[in-house]
């Protein structure tokens, strides 16, 4: 099972930049995309179907905002939109698909960049999402949690940890939540294979950040430790450019 997570920063914008052509190269069996910024009727499903993927999407109530989707070549047994928490669901932040014994959860974490109120909500969302995952694990222990987490976990995950220590996305409280998350039986699949620095998944649009690799690793595919024996390969794909983010890839062994 090959899985990608990718914040496309607008699915229609990504399509104009060659996203469909990339899909036709068969980059993964399951592609979890965030920030689709489109209602279901505005998602160009026919183009994505033509590239070989079925589309399951969950949009925000506010047009042009947030939203998540799962593009898949594998037929899911079950798809659930939302996590049952009102504000998160109104913002289209979580979609889940079950494939046999494995459950893929695609989530777009709040960013907190637009002000104190949103940062407060980010902490609330993190706590609610943590409880949601624990509840799902009671019946579906093999989880793959994809998404734009909007958090750098450690200093190695950000190009300038000193200057960014007081910025949302690298605040002590956010990083402590990531500690709690991993201590609760999740594996950082990229770091499982790669301990090298300067590996990022998002770059600011300003100041030549991407060209100079001044980035942040905020996009993850993390799995429950029950799936650790199945981990085969993980990498970040910075050469794929349809967005200010890039895809993150994981391959699980079939047996």
Residues with catalytic function:
148
Residue 75 DSSP one-character state = P
Nearest Cα to Cα of residue 10 among 41, 43, 32: 43
SS3 state of residue 226: helix
- For residue 82, what are its two tokens? 């939302």
Neighbours of 189 (CB within 10 A): 28
Judge contact between 45 and 53, C-beta under 8 A.
no
Judge contact between 10 and 35, C-beta under 8 A.
yes
Determine which helix (DSSP H) or strand (DSSP E) holds 5, and give its type and residue range: strand 2-7
Cα gap 53→30, rounded to integer Å: 8
Residue 158 DSSP one-character state = B
Cα gap 205→126, rounded to integer Å: 26
């Amino acid at each position: 099972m090959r899985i990608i997570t990718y914040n496309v920063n607008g699915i229609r914008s990504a399509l104009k930049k060659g996203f469909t052509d990339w899909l036709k190269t068969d980059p993964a069996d399951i592609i979890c995309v965030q920030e689709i910024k489109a209602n279901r009727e505005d998602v160009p499903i026919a183009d994505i179907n033509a590239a070989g993927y079925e589309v399951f999407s969950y949009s925000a109530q506010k047009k042009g905002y947030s939203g998540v989707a799962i593009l898949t070549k594998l037929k899911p047994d079950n798809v659930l939109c939302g996590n049952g928490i009102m504000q998160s669901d109104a913002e289209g932040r979580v979609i889940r698909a079950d494939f046999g014994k494995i459950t893929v959860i695609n989530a777009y974490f709040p960013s907190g960049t637009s002000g104190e109120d949103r940062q407060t909500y980010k902490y609330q969302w993190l706590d609610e999402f943590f409880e949601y995952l624990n509840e799902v694990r009671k019946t579906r222990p093999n989880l793959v949690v994809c998404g734009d987490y909007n958090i750098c976990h450690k200093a190695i995950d950000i190009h300038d940890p000193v200057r960014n220590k007081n910025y949302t996305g690298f605040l002590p409280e956010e990083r402590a939540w990531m500690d709690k998350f991993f201590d609760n039986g999740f594996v950082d699949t990229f770091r499982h294979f790669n301990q090298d620095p300067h590996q990022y998944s998002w770059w600011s649009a300003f100041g030549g950040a991407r060209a100079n690799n001044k980035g942040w690793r905020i996009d993850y595919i993390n799995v429950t430790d029950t799936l650790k024996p199945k981990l085969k390969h993980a990498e970040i794909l910075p050469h794929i450019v349809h967005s200010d983010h890039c895809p993150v890839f994981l391959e699980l062994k079939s047996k």
